[in-house]
Structures are given as C-alpha cells and as structure tokens.
Structure 1
Amino acid sequence: MIGSVNVLLVHQNFPGQFKHLAPALVARGDRVVALAMNQSEPMDGVEIHRSTPRIGTGSQLSWAQEFETKLIRGEATFRTALELRAAGFEPDVILAHPGWGDSLFLKDVWPQARLAIYCEYFYAMAGGDADFDPEFPLGDDQEARNIRLKLKGLPQKLHFSMANRGLAPTEFQKSTYPAGFRDRITVVHDGIDTRTIRPITTGRITTGNGLSVTRDDEVITFVARNLEPYRGYHIFMRALPALLRARPNARVFIIGNNGTGYGARPPEGSNWRDIFLREVKDQLDMSRVHFAGSLAYPVFLELLSISRLHIYLTYPFVLSWSLLEAMALGTPILASDTAPLREVIQHGENGMLFPFFDPVALADQGAAMLADDALRRRLSENARSTAVERYDLKDVCLPRQLAFVDGLAQDSPLPPILENDL
C-alpha cells in the first residue's frame, strides 16, 4: 500500500464488478467516491453520487441512437463530476466501466487523474459472439451488422487514448480487445468468496408444491440470468429429453429469468424460455422439470450445492460468476467447449466439455457423468481446488485488485496512443 488514495469508481449499476473492491479500499483507509446512473444501495464508507440524464434519445436513426445514448450518459456524469470538483474532490485514480459511456468525459474534468477501464468485453465483427451462432444472426446484411458492432465498440475505443490501464476478469475477455490496447490490460478476476461458498452436505430445497430434494436425489441444474441463446438455453432444452430418458430418476432445475440480456430478441409477445420449451415439451415429463425463475442468493447456492450435475453453456462471451460459484461448491460441471470455458475447465480434470452445438453429445456426456460416482467425486474436488487456487476473493483476487489500484496511482502521465495503433 502506498498511503491513502482518492479513488473514483464509475459504474452505471454501482457497485457492479466493484462490489468487493469498494469496501476493501474503504477498509484500508482510502477515500472512495462512486458515480452511478441507476439507483444504488448504500455502502458503508462509500460516497455514492447518482447522475441523472437531462434528456432522452431523440434520433430517428437507430445507428445514431446507439451512440447518442452513450453521449447522454457521459454528459450527465460529466456534470456530476464538475460538482464534485467544485466541492474539492480530486481523485488520484479513476476505475470505470466504460461500456455505457458514463466515463467518456471524466478526464476533461480531472486531466491529472490516472484512469483505468474495466475491460469486460469488446465486440468484434468476427471470431466472437456476433457470428458464433448461425441460428440467430444479428439481423441486417453483414455490412450493416459490422457498422452496428463498430458503433457498439466506439465508446470503449474512445477511452483507449485516455486510459493508463485496463482490468479484465479473464484472459479470454482481454483477448477480445484491440492489440494496441491489450498490452495495458491486467487480468484479475472479480473474485469468488470460497470461504463462504463451499461444499454443503446438508442442503435441502422445497418447491412450491411441497417437493423436497437433497443430495440424495439426482438433481441437474442449469443457470443463466436470462434463458436465452447466448447462454445455450436452446441447446440445453434440445438435449433435455434424451438426458432425462437416460436418467429416469433425475429431475432438472432451470434457474433464470424470461428476459433477453444479450443478442437477438424473441418474436413479439413471446420469450425464449417458452419457445424452446414448446419445441420439446411433448417429449418431457414436466413433473421432473422445474423452472425456478430468479432465486434469492442463499437459496441459489443451496440448490447448486445439492446438484449432481451442473450444465453451463455460453457463446464466446463474458464468463458467468455462477460457473465459478458452482465450482467453489464442488458441483460437477459439464460445459460447452467454447473459449471462455477452456480457460477455466480442463476436460476430464475439473469438469467435462462438449461441443456447443451438439445436444446429443450434451445428453450422452451428462448421462455418463451421472452414472459415474467416482468421476463426479474427482471432478468435484478438482473444481473446488481450481476455484480456491485461481479465483478466491480474499487470498488471490482482492490483493491483486488492490495492487492494481496502487500501481495505477503511481503511473506516470500517459503517453498518447496513435489511433493507427488501435
């Protein structure tokens, strides 16, 4: 630690990815101020200021709306920053999530502050999520799609010449960024509290109709914030009839909301959950299929703790915290063989991988895992070890995050980055 640091955290949904870092900074004596766009819960020791946009989008052109929204947010945050500066606040470092445009103009307010951006994901025209699933193209012709992606990445790109550093949670997410900025990105995960999230032997879940399940039952779990193609919900549902036929005593709990977080929206008046359920419903015993919706966090962890098989899929995109939480609980993992997961899962060691677009392979591999107690025990132990050794909050990630902030505070003035380098 280098002494007390004035830290400004910027996230439209504060605390977001800074939920562990913010209180840790306060605990060691730093002054922590946060700028948010949406309503935030109070956090001890953190001064939270909410910016309110003065106008709504007015552009008729959808291409313009994408960037206009970011400018409106940036202007609102800029004016809040001016008020903070007038009140005497001068941040040594700014750590901002740039994806929504909130931090576009903060270096105009505090040019001497050292800026780092949270590098969650940089949209690319090829090789990422945009062209991954041919069943769900982004719409328009390829040229128009590429322009939309270029506009989507522009707010982040405007930060590159201003930012001393970047912070990415995984190597895969770092790899999505342009080479001219990638060398400035440090990889440190947000962290999983493996002291709290640990194997539970006494877990029990009771459903609304009075059904009670424990570790003695054959429980399969699938989790996504929203049940949608980006997280492989369509592939999972297509595999489910064969998987449940092969395991007649198994029941599945599907956790997630009915909205759309990423990618293509469903037809008007419907949702992806129902679309893909209808596709296979006549092949399922629905008494063994439980849609749990969104669960309170302790209940969510307890359900994962009794799961004999946790199935997780994702496009080449942001890795979900739920995957690492399941690993910390020692839940056996069956996951899609996509880049974010190959970074975490070593096939046959701490989990199993299957081709994303192959529901037959999913069902076959899942049934084989459920039939092999020794394999699941080994995968469970190794998954837990991976979570502790690489992603533990207190001993691994948080110390590295604090060191990142301290290194940022000591950085020299930023040399310009030529646009051609990006």
Structure 2
Amino acid sequence: MKILFIHQNFPGQYKHLAPLLASRGHQCVALTLKVDKPSTWKGVRILPYKLPKRDGQNLHPWLVDLDTKVTRGDACYRAARQLREKGFQPDLILAHPGWGESMFLRDVWPKARLAMYCELYHLADDAHLNFDPEFDTSDRGLQALRIRLKNVNNHLHFPFADAGISPTRFQADTFPAEFRDKITVSHDGIDTLNAGPMADVRLVIDGQVDVTRDDEVITFVNRNLEPYRGYHIFMRALPRLLRERPNAKVLIVGGDEVSYGAAPPKGQTWKQIFLDEVRDQIPDEDFDRLHFLGRIPYDQFLRLLQVSRVHVYLTYPFVLSWSLMEAMSCGAAIVASGTEPVREVIRHDETGRLVDFFDGEALVDEVCALLDDEAARRRLGAAARQMMRDKYDLHTICLPRQLQWLSGIMDNAPV
C-alpha cells in the first residue's frame, strides 16, 4: 500500500505509526515544510516543499488564520501535483489538517482515502477560551464570530475525509456530531518500556543540577512556559512551597515561546513576567533551589521524570500534554489540575491528586502532603504507571488499535 503523510512538523503524532507502516513493507512518503532537502527517516521518504513569497495583503483580522491555511494548502497542493506527475498514487493519506496543508489533496488524488488527525475543534463556548478571567479580555460576542471562522478549515475537510482519529475522548468530543461519528479515540501511545521507573537514576545537567532519587525534587514541565499550562499559578505558589520545603529542589522545563493562547506584551516572555512577579517574595537561599532548565533532550527529560518526587501538571481545559502521561508511565506521584482532560487519566487519590486549577494554596498543600508520605507516593505512582500500561501502552494497545483503525478505513474503500 502507498501511504502519504501530511504534517507541518513531520513526524509529529506519526512518529511511531509511520516507521511501523514502513517496516511492514508499505511505501511511505511524507510532505512537510520541516526539512530543506529530501531524506529518508526510518523507512519513510521525506520530501520538502516551500511556501510561496507573497505581498502583504489587507485582511480582516478574523481572516488571517484562514488566509494562512489556504496559503499552506495551496503550496501543499502544488507539491502533491508534482508528486502525482512523477507517478505516485497514494492509497491512503494520513493528515493533520490543523494548518491547512491537506485542504486540496482530494483534488489531486480523488480516489485516495483520507484519514485526519483530529486534535481539536474550536467552539465559541470552549471552557479554555473563557477559563481564566485574568487573561479573558475579549468581547464574548465577537469571539464567537472569530471562532466560527477559525473552524472553516475543519469544515472544508469534513466532506471528503473518510475517518478521523483523536488521542483523547475530551478532544474527540469537541467535534460536531456530523463528524464525531467518524472519529476513533486512540492515543498516540506511551512507550512504557522506555518511560518507566529507575531506582538508581541520576540527572546531571552541567552547571545547573545534579540530583538523584535521594533528593527532594519537584518537577514542572511545559513545552513553553505560559498561562494555558498553569505556569503563572505554579510560580505564584512557589514562594510558600520553597519556604515550607527547605530541602526541595524545583526543576522547571519549558521554552520562552508561546504554544497556546495570547502572546505576552511585546518584548517580554511569560516566563520572565511571572518570575519577576514573585522574585521579591523568594529569599536568595530559596531562589538558589529553583532551576529553569529550558528545553532539554528527551533522555534528560525522562531522567527528570524518573528522579521526580512530586510532579506538578496544570492545564486549562485543553489538549492533554504527553508529558503528563509520560510522568505517569515513569511512576511519578502527580499533583494536577482537576480540569476535564486531566480527569480522563488522573482519578483523585487513585492515580494522582487533583486540585482546583486556580487554588495555589491547595496545590502547595497537596505537594507537601505527598512529600511527607512516601507510601502515598508509591501507591499513586504505581497506579498511574499501571493505567498507562493497561490503557495507553504504545506497543500493546495504541499501535495495534491504530492499525485496526487503518484496516477498517481501507476495508471500506471503494473498488
């Protein structure tokens, strides 16, 4: 079978599925903006394409998002047409439609099956849009109109997409009923063999930290440090947390950019804004135990989770982070926000402890309680890991389910 992958940052969510399909003898090709030259990765032929240079246009602000997606769809369409002219006829297209690249691919290959990665459908009444009053300054009525236009890209895909897959029920359920019936819920998968407990683990990052499980380590991880992932809540809790845990070391992982939500004021970062807010409340001797590690390699990231005595995860009601589930797989004792996507994997006092997203005092209380209770940490960590192995394991659960999903799509393909 010939399979075409479309993803702005390939492999993205296909990092396990694509190599598996290639290893089984399928001809796998990926079109992506991520690379500059053709290459082969784990049996997948990766082909680049570029966005055209365009003169500036005067657009209504609500149309900027759609304009960007159409531009990407146009560029991908042209690359796909060149690929077709070279004789490539995919049987199946696996696409993340979120950036618009796959918008016109049925016009190139009308007989190919198209399966979409359904990450999120934007709703005007989404809990995450009006969740945090500190950052909710928009006109609700205007916001509803803007969000409706943001979904035009989704609606352009729905009529010709054969099926969808979504990693969590929370994410799948954001999609409208007319397409929700086509979506299979199956997580991308957690490699529980690689992400697992390690008793003698040691994390060394030159010039910053050198810790083992004998140290009282508290961890907090974001792709980027920003309000959507509760960075401001965690920072405001830190002065008391550091004061009450004089031996604790707090390790924070995350970049300075913005993944979700509004950008900070020009020339600033959310990281620095909230660090500056609490700095005067933290004595120097406590501040020396706070370590911002930036973005770290994956092997160091796993050691960070393995060495963690308590891992903190906060999020708006939004897409669930892989990092939470990897922390669970490593057997970490977790204190997390009781927001809807988190409750899909964290059950209070069974696989972790839940607190109100905005309640920094409760957050500190729960972290301190777990730091003082080794038996509870072991119990929660073991249950969290068992859930990952039973329901989200990459090799025994998720990849087989994804293969079954693909077989169902192709079994229903027109002759």
Q: Same fold by TM (over 0.5)?
A: yes
- Residue by residue over 1:325-355, the C-alpha shift from the partner in whole angstroms, topping out at 9 and shown as x without a partner, is 1111111111100011000011111111100
Normalised TM-score (structure 2): 0.95
Partner of 2:293: 292
Q: Does 1:101 align with 2:82?
A: no
> Where do residues 145-184 of structure 1 align in structure 2 (5 Å cutoff)?
145-184=143-182
Partner of 1:239: 237
Name the SS for the 2:99 alignment partner: coil
Q: Does 1:274 align with 2:272?
A: yes
Distance, in Å, in 1 between the alignment partners of 2:351 and 2:13 is 26
Partner of 1:13: 9
Partner of 2:330: 329
Q: CA deviation at 1:18?
A: 0.3
Distance, in Å, in 2 between the alignment partners of 1:108 and 1:195 is 42
Deviates most, 276-285 or 167-176: 276-285
Deviates most, 205-214 or 29-38: 205-214
Q: Which runs of 5+ in 2 are unaligned?
A: none
Q: Does 1:205 align with 2:203?
A: yes
Distance, in Å, in 2 between the alignment partners of 1:127 and 1:105 is 28
Q: CA deviation at 1:211?
A: 4.8
Distance, in Å, in 2 between the alignment partners of 1:409 and 1:32 is 16
Name the SS for the 1:52 alignment partner: coil
Change (3 A) 1:380 1:143: same
- Residue by residue over 1:200-226, the C-alpha shift from the partner in whole angstroms, topping out at 9 and shown as x without a partner, is 111112344465211001000000000
Q: CA deviation at 1:86?
A: 1.4
Partner of 1:353: 354
- Residue by residue over 1:259-292, the C-alpha shift from the partner in whole angstroms, topping out at 9 and shown as x without a partner, is 1111011111111111111111122221111101
Distance, in Å, in 2 between the alignment partners of 1:120 and 1:221 is 27
- Corresponding letter in the other structure for 2:226: E
Q: CA deviation at 1:67?
A: 0.9
> Where do residues 63-74 of structure 1 align in structure 2 (5 Å cutoff)?
63-74=62-73
Name the SS for the 1:266 alignment partner: coil
Partner of 2:21: 25
Q: CA deviation at 1:97?
A: 0.3
The answer to whether the 8 A contact 1:14-1:36 is kept is yes
The answer to whether the 8 A contact 2:351-2:381 is kept is yes
Deviates most, 145-154 or 371-380: 145-154
Name the SS for the 2:342 alignment partner: helix
Paired-residue identity, %: 53
- Residue by residue over 1:135-179, the C-alpha shift from the partner in whole angstroms, topping out at 9 and shown as x without a partner, is 112x54223322222222211121111111110001011011111
The answer to whether the 8 A contact 2:329-2:385 is kept is yes
- Corresponding letter in the other structure for 2:71: I
Distance, in Å, in 2 between the alignment partners of 1:199 and 1:57 is 53
The answer to whether the 8 A contact 1:57-1:68 is kept is no
Q: Does 1:115 align with 2:114?
A: yes
Partner of 2:85: 86
Q: Which runs of 5+ in 1 are unaligned?
A: 415-422
Deviates most, 119-128 or 291-300: 119-128
Q: CA deviation at 1:36?
A: 0.8
Distance, in Å, in 2 between the alignment partners of 1:207 and 1:248 is 22
Partner of 1:52: 50
Partner of 1:340: 341
Normalised TM-score (structure 1): 0.94
- Corresponding letter in the other structure for 1:146: A
- Residue by residue over 1:229-279, the C-alpha shift from the partner in whole angstroms, topping out at 9 and shown as x without a partner, is 000001111111222222221110000011111101111111111111111
Q: Does 1:313 align with 2:331?
A: no
Q: What RMSD, in angstroms, separates the aligned Cα atoms of the two structures?
A: 1.6
Distance, in Å, in 2 between the alignment partners of 1:413 and 1:274 is 55
The answer to whether the 8 A contact 1:59-1:65 is kept is no
Partner of 1:405: 406
Distance, in Å, in 2 between the alignment partners of 1:43 and 1:148 is 39
The answer to whether the 8 A contact 2:310-2:371 is kept is yes
Partner of 1:255: 253
Match of 1:196 among 194, 197, 200: 194
Partner of 1:382: 383
Partner of 1:136: 135
Structure number with higher relative contact order (C-alpha < 8 Å, ≥ 6 residues apart): 1
Q: CA deviation at 1:118?
A: 0.3
Deviates most, 96-105 or 61-70: 61-70
- Corresponding letter in the other structure for 1:11: H
Q: CA deviation at 1:321?
A: 0.8
The answer to whether the 8 A contact 2:35-2:48 is kept is yes
Distance, in Å, in 1 between the alignment partners of 2:43 and 2:305 is 33
Name the SS for the 1:221 alignment partner: strand
The answer to whether the 8 A contact 2:35-2:47 is kept is no
The answer to whether the 8 A contact 1:335-1:351 is kept is yes
